[in-house]
Amino acid sequence: MKHYYLLFILFCLPFSKGFAQDDPHLNRMAGDIKSLQKKAGNKAFLNQLVLRWSESSMPKITLMDEIGRDANEYKGDGANKFRMNQLVTFVYDRQNRGMVSKGDYFNSTEKGIHYSAIEKTVSKGKTVTYTLKGHSGTQEFLFIPFNKKSKYSAKVNNSDAQKKDDGVQYVRLAKVNKQDEIHLSITYDQTNSAKYESFVILNYNRQEP
């Protein structure tokens, strides 16, 4: 009896902590994003990713542009090292030809598009905070720093992000209602040598009723 009880506990433990296997497309995208860490500014490689993410086997993705800007973002030369916002913009255009107005379509709540991303650059010792509205169902978030050794912390609502590999951090919210607000924050630690760091925020929004 004790043996079966132990197996039950081991089986349930990951779910009691709120973890689950990341969405497979989210993992694939994260792998591609991490590859940009070694190919910064390589336009040919960026174009390859645009084509790859635009393939029919890949889900649609949009820019999480509605979260706006935080005063603690770094806005000088060298910001947005991944060029992720440009990548997503080009992919969206290929997936949704005919859409031309930024204000009309760059919103992570667009119906039928479950994936969104945005790149933000944070000054040393500062915290940036953003609010998402209109998401529903299971939510998965990945935070990916350009320098995988950067010291930082990320949080979604009251959940501290859990460390994965290569500096990536992860949060899963099991259930979000459409009227709920989701608060995201990233703190770039004062002990880092670099004056700023770029982060990609990647989201899977299940869009359940």
pLDDT tens, residue by residue, 67-116: 999 999 999 999 999 999 999 999 999 998 755 444 455 789 998 999 99
Burial of 97 from C-beta contacts in 10 A (0-12 / 13-18 / 19+): exposed
Full-model pTM:
0.86
| Confidence band of 127 (pLDDT split at 50, 70, 90) | very high
Which segments of the chain does DSSP mark as H helices, in order? Answer: 2-16, 24-35, 43-53, 84-95, 102-105
Please name the residues in contact with 93: beta carbons below 8 A apart, sequence gap of 6 or more: 99
- The closest of 86, 133, 79 to 109, measured between CA atoms, is 133
When pLDDT is averaged across residues 8-33 and rounded to a whole number, the result is 62
**Mean pLDDT score of the chain:** 87
Domain boundaries, the chain: 2-205
- Contact at 8 Å (CB) between 59 and 92? no
User: Quick one: how far is CA 5 from the chain centroid?
Assistant: 37
CATH topology for 2-205 is Jelly Rolls (2.60.120)
